[in-house]
């Protein structure tokens, strides 16, 4: 599934010169989700939700996250064809800065706060209110 809205992209203006024929370069990853799970996250490992980095496994619920991840994926697909210096530039100019922004404490996941424990705490005890108190607001 791709989150890019190709329908709203404008076609480039036609030029009088015929464009240079470039061989079509196949994608390494068909979608941003595939790129994220198979390349992006494995190459950006940090201690999560401990202050400096935040992440929500349901990243697709955040529009800003989708935009950043899509930009990272598309720039990866373009720059991977530029050889070793292309990937080095990608890492320096795109990957680390945008992943840092994506996972920063004030980034899209700023309010994501997973539970510290997986087990839900027991319900607090409460006693039944005595009938002679009536209603509290009456």
* Residue 28, both tokens: 């390494």
Say how far apart CA 33 and CA 50 lie, in whole Å.
25
Say how far apart CA 110 and CA 49 lie, in whole Å.
10
Q: pLDDT by residue (tens digit) across 114-123?
A: 755 455 556 5
- pLDDT class of 111 with cuts at 50, 70, 90: confident
Instruction: Assess whether pLDDT exceeds 50 at residue 68.
Output: yes
Contacts of 112 (CB under 8 A, 6+ apart): 49, 54, 55, 56
Q: Is 51 left (phi over 0), alpha (psi -120 to 50) or beta?
A: left
Pick the more confident residue, 8 or 43: 43
To the nearest whole percent, how much of the chain has pLDDT over 90?
50
DSSP state, residue 49: T
Weakest mean pLDDT among 16-30, 77-91, 101-115, 124-138: 124-138
- pLDDT class of 24 with cuts at 50, 70, 90: confident
pLDDT at 112: 85
pLDDT at 17: 56
């Amino acid at each position: 599934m791709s989150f890019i809205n190709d329908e709203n992209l404008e076609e480039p203006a036609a030029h009088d010169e015929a464009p240079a024929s470039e061989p079509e370069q196949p994608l390494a990853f068909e979608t941003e989700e595939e790129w994220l799970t198979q390349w992006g996250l494995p190459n950006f490992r940090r201690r999560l939700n401990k202050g400096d980095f935040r992440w929500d496994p349901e990243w697709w619920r955040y529009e800003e996250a989708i935009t950043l991840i899509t930009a990272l994926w598309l720039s990866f697909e373009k720059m991977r064809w530029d050889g070793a210096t292309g990937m080095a530039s990608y890492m320096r100019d795109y990957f680390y800065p945008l992943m840092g922004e994506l996972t920063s404490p004030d980034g899209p996941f700023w309010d994501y706060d997973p539970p510290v424990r997986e087990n839900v705490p027991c319900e607090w005890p409460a006693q039944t209110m005595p009938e002679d108190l009536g209603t509290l607001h009456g």
